[in-house]
Copies of this chain bind each other. A is one copy, B any other.
Amino acid sequence: MGTRNAIDIQRIKESADYVRYLALECIERAESGHPGLPLGCADLGVLLYRYILKVNPDVPLWPNRDRFILSAGHGSMLLYPLLYLVGYNITLADMANFRQLGSKTAGHPEYERKLGIETTTGPLGQGFANAVGIAIEGKMMAQRFNEAGFNLFDYTVYTLMGDGCNMEGISYEAASLAGHLGLDNLIAIYDSNHISIDGRTDITFTDDVAKRYEALGWHVEFAASSDIETTFRKLLELKDTKGKPRLLIFNTVIGDGLDKKRDTNDIHGSPAEIPEIAFFIQNSSAIRELFEKKYGKGAVTDKQALEEILAKRITNQKTEPLLAFAESDEFMRQMRRETQAIYREWEERLAQYKEAFPEKYNELSRYLRFELSASLHDKLVNYSYQKSNATRFISGEVLNLCAVEIPQIVGGSADLADSTKGLVKGSPYIKRGDFSGRRIAFGIREHAMAAIGNGLALNKSMIPFSSTFFTFFDYMKPAVRLASLMRLNHLFIFSHDSIYVGEDGPTHQPIEHLNSLRLLPNLYTFRPANDIETAFSYLYFLKHMNGPVALITTRQKIDEKIMGIVPAGVSREEFYNMFEKGGYVFYETAGKGEPGIVLCGSGSEVSLARETAALIEARNNIKVRVVSIPCLELLNETECSYREQLFNQFNKPVVFIEAASHRGIHLFCDRHVVMIDIHSFGKSAPGKQVAESFGFTAEAVYERIEKQLA
């Protein structure tokens, strides 16, 4: 692939125009979308998918495929046509359904490896940092599994970033670490079009970008969309430049192919509108021909007639298919034949590897299809620490107990490993030229840490963890959100969990963070009360592998008396099943009859509840129930009757103790409130349809409350 010298410029341009056509018409149909980037980068996209990327649309999960990360995710209508053209499972009909409810072609690309969508992008800078994570994964896999003559892993990560990605701090952080690590399997392409939403970038962005990346240890080259030949050559050269990550500063024109909107901010994020599309069609020989074939020559030459045709196509979009372009299909799918040859070579290599290195092959299989071993399951279920200690120490011990058995566990901290205990003991840091280690010194770059961890998690071969003080979750939030949205198996370890941090003061004492995390769909937040709950939290993560888990640990020691408590009469396995309900009766004071009050909480406040229970027992002769709630989200999801049993069964007061900020109408409404709210992330579709799909219509609300009206 990369070594071929002849490229067919003519065909590239035709296919690029076809990409432009698809972008323009689909965005027009959706009345929403971002044509600017797809139009500016169409030639590059075709070049990459046709001649550069080693991917196999028939085996999209091929672990050694090259990756293409569209960090500037708003340009999704660049990606979908390319995936369609090279044969991924995206059709013209899917594209005609751009941005509609349930469509494969969401407003911004949504992680679906089978479709060739390697990550969810849109929030700027995130995809770039994901790409750094994937590049680290590539280096790690190569060093773990490649043998002389058996290059199983040598993929290259390409990422396309825009001005926005480059202005975001996260891209600086990730680039700084990539440069430090010398990630020469990473090629970033900076779509430099000098335009952002508010106007020309020179109103705010005048970095010398090349110099800046060089300062971070990158190799930088230039090219322009007007010169495909040179761009191709530079991309090949960059691939061969070793020792550093590479940046291609790629000059483009936003909205290329249009008339008045070309090179303006108008075209960044709004449909081009019919007169501009007509101009484009008339001036593109390939697309003009497509239209002429269907509508006749006269209809295309006459601008007004063409505009009417286009208007009709938009109006009748439900029945009117997008125009197909057989020559472009044919041209682009040659890539498929070529990469499939490469893929088959790889498969053969793997088969020989299996013979030559059977143990390594088995280990590789375990990487690619993780299963929790029964022995580790048992160790975690039966874990005890016994002594008094902070849960962050216990977490460190349990993490390492897991890491010993699961070599895929890699990660580190944002310069606080010794405080959070988020480190794999006995392992070196990864560094330039040596990725055998399992520790990553992320530096004081929380945001990049989380997004790089996401990148490591994307292919599901590595199991990454990130750690820092809980208060600095704030710095990472956008990436934690994406981990949740993508359900990545990324473990977030946050220590120093509340006011008990003490002397470092309010900047270092998380107050609102616990409930902020709990608000995130798909993510489960565990705040363990003791040793067993800490081990169970790890077990939950490793057993389910269905999305991120945040583990919240204390700075301060937990009382020995709290350790190792197992509810009476249940086995450890049964106890774990109770734990999976999110809350359980931790303890009841002595005495006959029903509890007269229920105290509940999480983490260190379970200790406090227990102490308070002792006071009540001594002074009021009332039996007290203490309920531990290690995971409020799970308790939220469990059956109603279980919660009734815990809290409401005896119709007695319930006291919730948590050193965290809580808000909500429930705090002051003296009755059970019917909540019409949202439990999952949003969807890509017109706003009204999204609202309907969530039940935010008067009819749906009425239905929800009909019972109350009786």
User: Interface code A198-227, partner B: CB below 8 Å = 1, 0 otherwise?
Assistant: 110101111111111011110000000000
Which of B215, B508, B629 is the one whose CB lies under 8 Å from A207?
Answer: B215
Which of B73, B418, B419, B501 is the one whose CB lies under 8 Å from A507?
Answer: B73
Q: A167 within 8 Å of B by Cβ? A: yes
Distance in angstroms from A529 CB to nearest chain B CB is: 15
Contact A659 B691 (CB under 8 A): yes
Known: A481-B474, A653-B671, A672-B670. A515 touches B442 (CB 8 A): no
Q: Provide the residues of chain B in CB contact with A511, threshold 8 Å.
A: 519, 521, 678, 680-682
Distance in angstroms from A110 CB to nearest chain B CB is: 7
Q: Provide the residues of chain B in CB contact with A205, threshold 8 Å.
A: 176, 180, 443
Known: A477-B477, A612-B701. A443 touches B204 (CB 8 A): yes
Q: A689 within 8 Å of B by Cβ? A: yes
Q: Provide the residues of chain B in CB contact with A704, threshold 8 Å.
A: 655
Q: A620–B705 Cα gap in the complex (Å)?
A: 12
Distance in angstroms from A28 CB to nearest chain B CB is: 13
Contact A676 B655 (CB under 8 A): yes
Q: Which of A673-687 contact B (CB under 8 A)?
A: 673-687
Contact B503 A686 (CB under 8 A): yes
Which of B108, B619, B688 is the one whose CB lies under 8 Å from A502?
Answer: B688
Q: Provide the residues of chain B in CB contact with A217, threshold 8 Å.
A: 206-208
Q: Provide the residues of chain B in CB contact with A658, threshold 8 Å.
A: 676-677
Q: Provide the residues of chain B in CB contact with A207, threshold 8 Å.
A: 176, 179-180, 215-217
Contact B32 A687 (CB under 8 A): no
Q: Provide the residues of chain B in CB contact with A662, threshold 8 Å.
A: 519, 664, 675, 677
Which of B608, B669, B670, B698 is the one whose CB lies under 8 Å from A614?
Answer: B698
Which of B206, B478, B669, B694 is the one whose CB lies under 8 Å from A647?
Answer: B669
Contact B475 A705 (CB under 8 A): no
Q: A521–B478 Cα gap in the complex (Å)?
A: 21
Distance in angstroms from A199 CB to nearest chain B CB is: 8
Binds B, one of A255-263, A350-358, A539-547, A635-643: A635-643
Which of B503, B596, B684 is the one whose CB lies under 8 Å from A33?
Answer: B503
Q: A537 within 8 Å of B by Cβ? A: no
Q: Which residue of B lies closest to A481 (CB)?
A: B474
Contact B657 A701 (CB under 8 A): yes
Known: A167-B176, A172-B169, A520-B512. A661 touches B678 (CB 8 A): yes
Contact A666 B663 (CB under 8 A): no
Q: A485 within 8 Å of B by Cβ? A: yes
Q: Which residue of B lies closest to A480 (CB)?
A: B474
Contact B122 A196 (CB under 8 A): no
Contact A507 B482 (CB under 8 A): yes
Which of B167, B499, B679 is the one whose CB lies under 8 Å from A683?
Answer: B499
Q: Which residue of B lies closest to A705 (CB)?
A: B655
Q: A665 within 8 Å of B by Cβ? A: yes
Which of the listed residues A206, A445, A633 has the most CB atoms from chain B within 10 Å of its own CB? Answer: A206
Contact A173 B180 (CB under 8 A): no
Q: Provide the residues of chain B in CB contact with A413, threshold 8 Å.
A: 198
Q: A555 within 8 Å of B by Cβ? A: yes
Q: A417 within 8 Å of B by Cβ? A: yes
Q: Which of A434-483 contact B (CB under 8 A)?
A: 441-448, 471-472, 474-475, 477-478, 481-482
Known: A441-B198, A502-B687. A661 touches B521 (CB 8 A): yes
Known: A681-B506, A681-B509. A212 touches B203 (CB 8 A): no
Contact B663 A633 (CB under 8 A): yes
Contact B709 A107 (CB under 8 A): no
Would you list 22 pairs from A and B whose C-beta atoms are within 8 A, ordered by A residue? A108-B508, A164-B444, A169-B171, A208-B214, A210-B215, A499-B678, A499-B683, A499-B694, A502-B688, A503-B686, A508-B682, A509-B682, A511-B678, A605-B676, A615-B698, A619-B702, A640-B668, A648-B670, A651-B671, A659-B678, A660-B677, A669-B672
Known pairs A196-B444, A519-B662. 7 more at Cβ < 8 A?
A32-B503, A120-B507, A169-B171, A499-B696, A612-B698, A616-B709, A666-B667
